[in-house]
Amino acid sequence: MADIICKELGKKLGMAHPEVVFDISNIVYIFSKASSKTEAVVNHLVKWGDAGIVDIPVCDGAVRPVSKQVTNQRIANGEKYRIKAFKLRTEIRKSKQRLHRERLDAAERTALLKAIKKKESNCKRNETLSKGKVPKNLPEELRRELSDCAAHCANPATGGRVGEVVVSEFEADALMCHKLLAGKAVMAETKDSDINIISGGITISSFTKGKFELSCITASKIQDAMKFLSNESKAVFKTA
């Protein structure tokens, strides 16, 4: 759905292949549970490229605003979650030892298995929360992964590709808004509503499990964009 709208908007701007800017720091959070966040982001970008879109990955600069910098409180919270995960792993190990060493009746065994499953879920959650969401040297990691999988080469069938990783001087928001306002990009993929407000453009604000949600502060822009979809589309227009 979103790729169809991007292509039609691109035609209106005279683009052979529409450009979409991607808020990489934002997208990393979406894939925070992935074993390799960088690989998950690369795979996500490649899918868009294969659909005929020219992706422009935009990363935050090295100098970030105070509101986005890691605080002592966040560091302390990370350590707290790490300790909780460690304690839960110890409890899980002891519970599993009980399963093998003790003679438990059916009810006791079922209760213990249920408790283990709950602790494993909590342990995984605390381990995720204890880790930093954005990998260190993210732009460099992205560049290497994208280069290794030849993502910068245009797809012969669709013409889409992943562009070079762009690092903003400060926040990615400013660079993304500039591209939208200047007509150099048809959309931005981000959950950051500031981009909607500042640029007045359309953003892809939800993009998981094969479902997409487009957002804009101007209802008519979304309604006009939906006209590009076929009559069989299940897309629904909603107001906030």
pLDDT given for residue 151 in this prediction: 92
Q: Report whether pLDDT(109) > 80.
A: yes
Check pLDDT > 60 for residue 65: no
User: Exposed/middle/buried for 73, CB within 10 Å: 0-12, 13-18, 19+?
Assistant: exposed
- Taking the C-alpha atoms of residue 220 and residue 200, their distance in angstroms, rounded to an integer, is 12
Please name the residue ranges forming H helices in the chain: 2-12, 24-30, 37-50, 72-101, 106-130, 138-148, 172-181, 193-199, 219-226
Between 77 and 224, the more confident residue is 224
232 or 143, which is more confident: 143
- Distance CA(150)–CA(47), nearest Å, equals 13
Q: Domain-by-domain residue ranges, the chain?
A: 2-67+133-226, 70-130
Q: For the chain, give the percent of residues with pLDDT over 90.
A: 37
pLDDT above 80 (res 44): yes
Q: What confidence score (pLDDT) does residue 75 get?
A: 63
Condensed to tens digits (0 to 9), the pLDDT of residues 117-126 reads 999 998 888 8
Q: How would you label 39-71 residue by residue, b for 16+ Cβ within 10 Å and e otherwise?
A: ebbbebbbebbbbbbbbbbbbbeeeeeeeeeee
- What local confidence, expressed as pLDDT, does residue 55 receive? 95
How much is the pLDDT for 72?
A: 57
Spatial distance between the Cα atoms of 232 and 18, rounded to a whole number of angstroms:
24
pLDDT category of residue 133 using cuts at 50, 70 and 90: low
pLDDT tens digit string along 203-222? 988 777 667 888 898 888 88
CATH architecture of the domain formed by 2-67+133-226: 3-Layer(aba) Sandwich (3.40)
Higher per-residue pLDDT: 87 or 71 = 87
Nearest-CA neighbor of 112 among 93, 98, 101? 98
Per-residue pLDDT band at 177 (split at 50, 70, 90): very high
Of 67, 75, 71, 74, the residue nearest 170 (C-alpha): 67
Mean pLDDT of the 164-190 span: 90
Average pLDDT of the chain to the nearest whole number: 85
Contact 60, 172 (CB under 8 A): yes
Pair 204, 214: CB distance under 8 Å: yes
How does pLDDT run across 88-103, given as a tens digit for each residue? 999 999 999 998 888 9
